[in-house]
Amino acid sequence: MQTGSSVKTQIIASGFLEREVTLDLYFPEKNNLNEWELLLINDGQDLISMDFEHILGDLSDKITSLLCVGIHSGPQRKNEYGTSNVLNDKGEGAKAFLYSRFILDELIPFIKKEYKILSFKKKSFCGFSLGGLSALDIVWNHPDEFSKVGVFSGSLWWRTVPQDDPGFSEEKHRIIHNEIKNGGYYPWLKFFFETGTLDETADRNNNGIIDSIDDTLALINELEKKGYDPQTDVFYLELKDGKHNITTWARAMPQFLLWGWGNDVD
């Protein structure tokens, strides 16, 4: 059980990203390393404003032993996050593949070596906005490494063609939707999505539903087509009056942690 946490800030030099990356590590109190799970969190700097340490403390013994690692974003966030195999219509995401290599080949090995952890029971990834898209993309493309992914107000609109282009099609040009559609089926993966009803005001298809909700529900539909059960494999949280900000994501965070690591979760 996670009865408390201590926080340590470290800096790791990344060869893939050619920069130093700041990490905030939130340790479970329980010392049995063989029982630890790992949760990587993009935009880890936001956890400070969120008072993530207090959120963990409030959950007390309600979740299992979970090492949470907040990965601070860098000055090239829009290039390091995103989708690793396809650039968006603005050419963003050029370093997303390198970011995935940093996660798998530098960060996780560093954590294991630094804290003498032979292996984690399970590994998961989450993020906010563009960081949520990045987390989903990395988990989907490396399913053997992960078990769960959390996407808070995800930038699932990322597309290869501008939406004002006459040829733009939601079905053809949303990048992550196509990744899911053309990918495999990995039955062990679990998905958490959060949106807020005030995430944005844009409604490109004029159906009365904001794009962030539309894009999220469409992605969940693609997962269902793959074979994922919407009741057991996918959790969708829509917060009334929720906005695209840290305050809203802080509201959703306890539910995410209980969903993934509550003591009654297998």
| Per-residue pLDDT reduced to its tens digit, 75-109 | 999 999 999 999 999 999 999 999 999 999 999 99
Identify the domain containing residue 83 by its residue range.
5-261
What pTM value is reported for the model?
Answer: 0.95
**What percent of the chain clears pLDDT 90, i.e. is strictly above it?**
85
Q: Give the β-pairing of 148-152 and 123-128.
A: parallel
Task: Examine residue 266 and state whether it is found in any structural domain, yes or no.
Answer: no
Instruction: Report helix angle 175-182 to 211-226, nearest 10.
Output: 10
Task: Examine residue 182 and state whether it is found in any structural domain, yes or no.
Answer: yes
For 248-258, the pLDDT digits (tens) are: 999 999 999 99
Q: What is the pLDDT of residue 32?
A: 77
Q: What is the pLDDT of residue 112?
A: 96
Q: Give the residue, 102 or 208, on which the prediction is more confident.
A: 102
Task: Examine residue 247 and state whether it is found in any structural domain, yes or no.
Answer: yes
Whether 222 has a pLDDT exceeding 50, the answer reads: yes
Task: Examine residue 139 and state whether it is found in any structural domain, yes or no.
Answer: yes
* Rounded-to-integer distance, Cα 176 and Cα 192, Å: 15
Mean of the per-residue pLDDT values for the chain? 94
* Rounded-to-integer distance, Cα 100 and Cα 103, Å: 5
Task: Examine residue 33 and state whether it is found in any structural domain, yes or no.
Answer: yes
* Phi, psi (rounded to 5 degrees) for 12: -120, 135
- In which band, very low, low, confident or very high, does the pLDDT at 221 lie, cut at 50, 70 and 90? very high
- In which band, very low, low, confident or very high, does the pLDDT at 35 lie, cut at 50, 70 and 90? confident
* Rounded-to-integer distance, Cα 195 and Cα 250, Å: 12
Query: Mean pLDDT across the stretch 209-219?
Result: 93
180's enclosing H/E stretch is helix 175-182
Burial of 8 (0-12, 13-18, 19+ CB in 10 A): exposed
Quote the number of domains for the chain.
1
Query: Mean pLDDT across the stretch 234-250?
Result: 97
Task: Examine residue 43 and state whether it is found in any structural domain, yes or no.
Answer: yes
Q: What is the pLDDT of residue 24?
A: 98
Q: What is the pLDDT of residue 131?
A: 98
**What percent of the chain clears pLDDT 70, i.e. is strictly above it?**
97
Q: What is the pLDDT of residue 265?
A: 67
- CB of 149 closer than 8 Å to CB of 128: no
Q: Give the β-pairing of 5-14 and 234-243.
A: unpaired
Q: What is the CATH number of the domain that holds 97?
A: 3.40.50.1820
Q: What are the distances in angstroms from CA 125 to CA 102, 131, 206?
A: 14, 10, 33
- CB of 187 closer than 8 Å to CB of 144: no
- CB of 257 closer than 8 Å to CB of 265: no
